[in-house]
A and B are shown apart, each in its own frame.
Chain A
Amino acid sequence: MKRARSYQTQKWLTYIAAYAVLTMFGLLIIFPFMFMFFTSFKASGDVFRSPPQLLPYSVQTASVNGETVPLYRVETPEGLRTLALVDQGALLVIFASVDDPSRTFERAPRDAKPVGGFTAQEQITVDGETKLLWEIEEGGQTLPVFELSRGRMGVFVDPDDPQVTFDASLTDATPVERIDLQIQNYQRVLELQNIDRSLTNTMLVTILVVIGQVVTSVLGGYAFARLRFPGRDSLFVVYLGTIMIPFVVLIIPMYQLMVIVGWVDRIAALVMPWIFTAYGTFLMRQFFISIPKDLEEAALMDGASRLRILWQIFVPLAGPAIATQATFTFLYAWNSFVWPLIVINTGNFGNQVLTLSLMVLQGRAAESPNLVMAGTTIAVSVPLLIFVLAQRYFVEGIATTGIK
């Protein structure tokens, strides 16, 4: 009995530890996307903040005498109130005398002179803290001082009754902010880069490439796995070797080829060259080779054609392998960047794909990260949706490659 309980406790402890680790990793993974998502809803003035803020805020304002002024929470004699700031007041620094720290002076920053000049300003140590040394004029004398604090005395009014004014330190007042989603960012980014067109283009290209690759790979993989023909094995080695070729090697001649064929700036250039893949053929061949031979031999005896054997025996069995290949291809086609960059003219909004749009957007809206992030959110959300719906297939697909 006791042992069982301790076993239970141990189990729970393991669970907690496991969840702690998983959650930590999960937060690390998800945070950049949260940043992306929330930034995409920020107003342009809210994007650049120090310290950074995750959520999109906007300062609440009120209209006082026809002017729009920001609202603050201010400590008043009647308690905490929401007031409108009508005058920021001048910035005043409170300096304390070095000789007698209880003597304080209020000065505008520019009325104090750095002792020794800014480049080599002298310092003193007060209560263990290092302070810069300044000089101020006081009663015709120059007095060495250090800074105690600084702030502005703002003039606040009751937004409902502008006659009532309050003077309060701006440092103690907190601006009234509210989470405010700038949904129009999305509208703007759609207008800006024709992102919806890029989105559907990317979908179309991905669909065509996935279908094309699966078809050619299944055919080729079957031939490599099951049919003996002269030069098969050396050809297979060549295929294997080319998996490792970095695509950049091919950019220059491929571009020339596209020019000859007349596909520059065309969707065809994004689809046609990519429906033939050595990697997919390799994957399929590996899978088909593991299928027992007796299955097809029986069918061959019955006089079934090769195509029929492939279609009726191999393809149904190859579900997971096809899912693998489709997944890899999907990820690859959806995210391909270098080739569209070269072959699709950035001015041709009609034929752009998402990665390219994002890159251009990043350059064109460099000072509006909110718009860039809105574009990124659109680009990420569609594969995310597909992934959530078809998670099983994705995961199974990738998994089969690992098991071998």
Chain B
Amino acid sequence: MQRMQRRFSWISLIAILTLALAACGGGTTAQPTTAPAPTEASAATEAPAPTEAAAATEAPVAMDEVALRWRTRPDNQAEIDVYSQISSEIDAQLDNISLTYEPGGSETSSYQDVLKTELSAGTAPDVFWIPGTDIADFATRGLILDLRDLADADYNDSDFYPGPMFHLTFNPETGMTGETLWGLPRDVSTFALYLNNDLIEQAGAEDPRVLAANGEWTWDKFLETAIAVNNLGGDVKGFGMNAWWANPGLFINSAGGGFFNEDRTACALDSDASVAGMEFASRLYNEFGVAVPYGEDSEPPFLAGNVGMFLNGRWATPGTRASAEFDWDVVDVPIGPGGARSWLFWGAYVVNANTAHPEEAWQLVRALTTAETQSKIAELGANIPSRVSDAAIQAFLTYTPPANNQAFINNLANDPAIEGPLWAGSWPEFDAATGSKFTALLNGDLTLEDYQATVCEEANQAFDQ
């Protein structure tokens, strides 16, 4: 009896598993019939009726039209609106494609993580934007399509900034650039120092914009300004930057150092030049105490009028326009021992390796990176066009405030370090390892000697051996 009972329970367990699978099987067979639903449903709910005409043309999808989905990581509703509008315009332009734009999550809601999950499940959109740092990860995993063979005669790599194109055409197998085409850059961006002119004036410090115009905007002057503003006392801080790799990176680059060695196969943060940059940054925090604690979001205090200088990218401009109630502007990043080397940030539209319609996807990528489309996005104030063109730059300069838009252009022209994917390793791992060390050093939890000795220890594990 006992034995029979045990056997009975085993059999039932197995049988139940079978049922589970039977249910799955049923579901799978159901899939073909329901598959078109996602795009239709999302089109209906997502498109906030961009324009009446577009909605009307979209509704009856012609039989020979190819349905494509594309996605970006918008930071605010204004961006979503612009992208939705662009989507319906391109849709109207390209007869053979019907488009659906999906605004992705923000950085805080794990945009890339969700994307990779969807890629692994086969539910990802056909075309999507990813930041430059992630290109290598996506490409080496085989998640994005090499578009080189699709590139037509009228396409030219040199239409775009060479920095991003170096990585977008990099072939990880041969280690050569110019061989592949992983996507096209949507935009470029760079750092500048956002200034609270009221505070700087009150502190009696010289105007950084004047200093920069005269070529005197050095680290010493920058430090002086920060201290002077900080001396105003109370909650006022001289300087602020957020806890993100690029911020300490600015000081490392400007000191003549860098994240990686020459061929990007090892960590170079422990080189003397790199350490010198971090030493200066660390003094701002620990010796002079003039900065908003590293790791604290510096944007709220800056917008509250408590921070003299705030290091951030072009993307902080719309928010500052909306909330700053003081006289503000931007200035070039200060000149360090190795020059004033800002970053060149970029992100690219890439094509899902499993897309059913590679040609149409490439067409879409082209359409999304025309000068015309880019200028529409640049008007938002958050981006700078990725095409090398004087007209684009001239247009960008008119999107004020800030009055001193030229600072961004200067920083772009001044041999910026390229936001770099890591072809020979894992960027997220490198980022996690070094981010901890930056934080520990800048918060005074690690001495400079210990920092130099250990910063590359864990970071080097991120590289393929």
A–B proximity contact (CB within 8 A): yes
Instruction: Pick from A257, A346, A364: contact of B24, CB below 8 A.
Output: A257
Q: Which of B30-38, B159-167, B246-254 lies at the binding interface?
A: B30-38
**Interface: B114 (CB within 8 A):** yes
Whole-angstrom CA separation of A132 from B74 in the bound complex: 47
**Interface: A348 (CB within 8 A):** yes
B304 cross-chain contacts in A, Cβ below 8 A: 48-50
Would A363 and B108 count as touching, CB distance under 8 A? yes
User: In chain A, what residue has the closest Cβ to B124?
Assistant: A345
Whole-angstrom CA separation of A356 from B110 in the bound complex: 11
CB neighbors of A among B406-420 (8 A): none
A358 to chain B, nearest CB (A): 10
B136 cross-chain contacts in A, Cβ below 8 A: none
A-B residue pairs in contact (CB < 8 Å), sample of 15: A44-B322, A45-B323, A48-B305, A50-B305, A109-B202, A114-B228, A260-B28, A261-B24, A341-B109, A341-B114, A345-B123, A349-B45, A364-B74, A367-B320, A368-B322
**Interface: A307 (CB within 8 A):** no
B27 cross-chain contacts in A, Cβ below 8 A: 260-263
Would B228 and A262 count as touching, CB distance under 8 A? no
Q: Which of A61-69, A96-104, A229-237, A242-250 lies at the binding interface?
A: A229-237
**Interface: B107 (CB within 8 A):** yes
Whole-angstrom CA separation of A32 from B41 in the bound complex: 39
A5 cross-chain contacts in B, Cβ below 8 A: none
A348 cross-chain contacts in B, Cβ below 8 A: 42, 45-46, 102
Would A230 and B9 count as touching, CB distance under 8 A? yes
- A368 touching B75 in the complex, CB below 8 Å, given contacts A118-B224, A363-B108: no
Whole-angstrom CA separation of A324 from B71 in the bound complex: 43
Instruction: Pick from A110, A261, A364, A369: contact of B206, CB below 8 A.
Output: A110
Would B325 and A230 count as touching, CB distance under 8 A? no
A231 cross-chain contacts in B, Cβ below 8 A: 5-6, 8-9, 12
Would B42 and A48 count as touching, CB distance under 8 A? no
Would A363 and B106 count as touching, CB distance under 8 A? yes
Instruction: Pick from B31, B46, B121, B322: contact of A349, CB below 8 A.
Output: B46
B323 cross-chain contacts in A, Cβ below 8 A: 44-45, 47-48, 367-368
Whole-angstrom CA separation of A260 from B299 in the bound complex: 43
CB neighbors of A among B15-48 (8 A): 23-24, 27-28, 30-31, 34-35, 38, 41-42, 45-46
A33 to chain B, nearest CB (A): 20
**Interface: B201 (CB within 8 A):** yes
- A359 touching B325 in the complex, CB below 8 Å, given contacts A192-B77, A342-B114: no
Would A342 and B117 count as touching, CB distance under 8 A? yes
Q: A268-296: contact bitstring with B at CB < 8 Å (1 yes, 0 no)?
A: 00000000000000000000000000000
Highest count of chain B CB atoms <10 Å: which of A45, A50, A121 = A50
- A363 touching B24 in the complex, CB below 8 Å, given contacts A255-B117, A264-B121, A348-B46: no
Q: B189-211: contact bitstring with A at CB < 8 Å (1 yes, 0 no)?
A: 00000000000011111100000
Whole-angstrom CA separation of A338 from B96 in the bound complex: 38
- A347 touching B102 in the complex, CB below 8 Å, given contacts A50-B305, A114-B228: yes
Provide the main secondary structure of the chain B interface: helix
CB neighbors of B among A38-79 (8 A): 44-45, 47-51
B234 cross-chain contacts in A, Cβ below 8 A: 50
B452 cross-chain contacts in A, Cβ below 8 A: none
CB neighbors of A among B288-325 (8 A): 288, 299-301, 303-306, 318-320, 322-323, 325
- A367 touching B303 in the complex, CB below 8 Å, given contacts A91-B201, A262-B34, A346-B109: yes
- A110 touching B204 in the complex, CB below 8 Å, given contacts A259-B121, A347-B46, A367-B303: yes
Number of B interface residues, CB 8 Å? Answer: 69
Would A256 and B106 count as touching, CB distance under 8 A? no
Number of A interface residues, CB 8 Å? Answer: 57
- A360 touching B228 in the complex, CB below 8 Å, given contacts A48-B300, A259-B121: no
Would A118 and B205 count as touching, CB distance under 8 A? yes
User: In chain A, what residue has the closest Cβ to B221?
Assistant: A118
B205 cross-chain contacts in A, Cβ below 8 A: 110, 118
B123 cross-chain contacts in A, Cβ below 8 A: 259, 264-265, 345
Whole-angstrom CA separation of A47 from B201 in the bound complex: 24
CB neighbors of B among A101-142 (8 A): 109-112, 114, 117-119, 121, 132, 134
A111 cross-chain contacts in B, Cβ below 8 A: 204
**Interface: A350 (CB within 8 A):** yes
A177 to chain B, nearest CB (A): 13
**Interface: B104 (CB within 8 A):** yes
CB neighbors of A among B62-76 (8 A): 71, 74-76
A368 to chain B, nearest CB (A): 7
Whole-angstrom CA separation of A258 from B38 in the bound complex: 14
B170 to chain A, nearest CB (A): 29
Instruction: Pick from A258, A261, A350, A359: contact of B45, CB below 8 A.
Output: A350
**Interface: B231 (CB within 8 A):** yes
A342 to chain B, nearest CB (A): 6
Q: B90-132: contact bitstring with A at CB < 8 Å (1 yes, 0 no)?
A: 0000000000001111111111001001100111000000000
User: In chain A, what residue has the closest Cβ to B23?
Assistant: A261
A188 to chain B, nearest CB (A): 9
Would B114 and A367 count as touching, CB distance under 8 A? no
Whole-angstrom CA separation of A258 from B108 in the bound complex: 24
Would B107 and A48 count as touching, CB distance under 8 A? no
Would A346 and B105 count as touching, CB distance under 8 A? yes
Q: B1-16: contact bitstring with A at CB < 8 Å (1 yes, 0 no)?
A: 0001110110010000
Would A362 and B108 count as touching, CB distance under 8 A? yes
User: In chain A, what residue has the closest Cβ to B107?
Assistant: A363
**Interface: A365 (CB within 8 A):** yes
A190 to chain B, nearest CB (A): 12
CB neighbors of A among B384-402 (8 A): none
**Interface: B263 (CB within 8 A):** no
Whole-angstrom CA separation of A111 from B255 in the bound complex: 32
**Interface: B235 (CB within 8 A):** yes
**Interface: A22 (CB within 8 A):** no
A281 to chain B, nearest CB (A): 16
A80 to chain B, nearest CB (A): 25
**Interface: A17 (CB within 8 A):** no
CB neighbors of B among A343-382 (8 A): 345-350, 356, 359-360, 362-369
A44 to chain B, nearest CB (A): 5
**A119-B223, A231-B5 are known contacts; what are 16 more A-B pairs with Cβ within 8 Å?**
A44-B322, A45-B323, A109-B203, A109-B204, A134-B204, A192-B77, A230-B8, A234-B9, A258-B121, A259-B121, A261-B23, A342-B117, A345-B104, A347-B42, A366-B106, A367-B299
Would A359 and B109 count as touching, CB distance under 8 A? yes
Whole-angstrom CA separation of A263 from B37 in the bound complex: 11
- A118 touching B228 in the complex, CB below 8 Å, given contacts A341-B110, A345-B114, A367-B319: yes
Would A256 and B46 count as touching, CB distance under 8 A? no
